[in-house]
Chain A
Amino acid sequence: MAMIVCHGPKGGAGTTFIAAHLATGLAEAGADVTVLTVSPRDTLALHFGLQPALSLPSMTAPVNEAVVAGGINLRHYRRAPVDPDFIPMLRDLGYLAPGAHRVLVLDVPAGEQAFGRRAITHACAHVCPLNAAPDTLALLPAMFGEAGEAGLARTAFVVNALDETRRLSRHGAAFIRELTGPRLIGRVRLDEAVPEAIAMLQPLARYAPASAALADVRLVAAAMVPALDNNVSDAWIAPAAVSRAA
């Protein structure tokens, strides 16, 4: 059992999109996956083609209240950032140990930096979605300074919603590529199919199986599979072939 934290320095980077498709990819790889969002206003269910009015059950809700989409258990726990028993609860549930059989993908909004950093210290890996936009780049020094070396030791970066037709976007992505080096595990291209799938109340894979973003995010998920066997106290970095491809 393992936990992967999805958390970025700036809202709007598509953290929930990445978390949802990371969960899908890990489930397709054979894991029993739960996605837990701690956002007070989450959109997780929309990425699975579910109705916007659907309210996800709490982490502590009984099994008969579970919402399962695509074989993935969707939960919320909005009190997590202020609940001192949250991490002990995850430990009791077995999510703070390596193992690819059962996986918890934790979707943490950008505004919950302190909670995000605390959760990352207990995770086998941290996925950090970034937009290649200058305002996002401007936040990286603060993020790196707050996280420190230990806080970045298991971090993998993903450039999301990359518009390669825009020069500044390409330059921003190139900057991230140079900055993060082997820790960049993927680039997900901007794709109108992503919001269209939400608008159609369909999973992206059903609405647009040829979606460029879908192909890209599947590679991201595949890159994270080896991280599930990483010890929580150990650094983790994606295999060199993954970072070269990114």
Chain B
Amino acid sequence: MRIDARNLLNRLGKNEFSYKEFEDRFTDLELWPILEALLRDPRLQTLDQVNAPAAQAVQDTRASDEQPLGALFSRYEHETNGAALRQGTPRHGDRQPGQDVRAMLRHLSELGARGEI
């Protein structure tokens, strides 16, 4: 940390500095192809399955609009060519037509706007 920045923080009585002014509106979010590709990979659901018991407990204390990753996978599959992917791979979570990876980004944007991510 530069000495002038440290002196400024000391003068302000702050012990840390964080960026708070970089919220993303949904309209500014891009659909990064790599995130879309990763969401197609069923191996990422391993953690969702490991978390399942704990996630249930956590959900009790969290906002009701948060959804497990499995739900996001299910929505994505529903919107794309999910028939082939669905075969042989157990899923959990509600299927909600009309939502896709952009819904996940919108959800992330909302979390960011509330300062939760």
Interface residues on chain A, number (Cβ under 8 Å): 45
Given the complex, which residues of B lie within 8 Å of A182, measured CB to CB?
51, 54-55, 58
Q: For chain B, residues 40 to 78, give those with C-beta under 8 angstroms from any C-beta of chain A.
A: 41, 43-44, 46-51, 54-55, 57-58, 61-62, 68-69, 72
- Give the residue of B30, B38, B68, B72 whose beta carbon is less than 8 angstroms from that of A137: B38
B34–A134 contact, CB under 8 A?
yes
B interface secondary structure, majority: helix
A175 CB to closest chain B CB (Å) equals 6
Given A149-B49, A181-B69, are A138 and B38 also a contact pair (CB < 8 Å)? yes
For B93-117 the 0/1 string (1 means CB < 8 A from A) is 0000000000011011001100011
A244–B29 contact, CB under 8 A?
no
A179–B44 contact, CB under 8 A?
yes
A181–B61 contact, CB under 8 A?
no
B16–A212 contact, CB under 8 A?
yes
CB pairs A–B below 8 angstroms (26 shown): A138-B38, A144-B46, A149-B50, A164-B18, A165-B22, A167-B22, A168-B32, A170-B22, A170-B112, A171-B24, A171-B29, A171-B105, A171-B108, A177-B108, A178-B69, A178-B107, A178-B108, A179-B69, A180-B47, A180-B51, A182-B55, A191-B1, A209-B15, A210-B16, A211-B16, A244-B58
Besides A144-B46, A145-B43, A244-B58, 20 new A-B residue pairs in contact (Cβ under 8 A), listed by A number: A134-B34, A137-B35, A142-B43, A144-B43, A145-B46, A149-B50, A167-B24, A168-B32, A171-B24, A171-B108, A174-B112, A174-B117, A178-B104, A179-B69, A181-B48, A181-B69, A192-B2, A193-B1, A210-B6, A243-B58
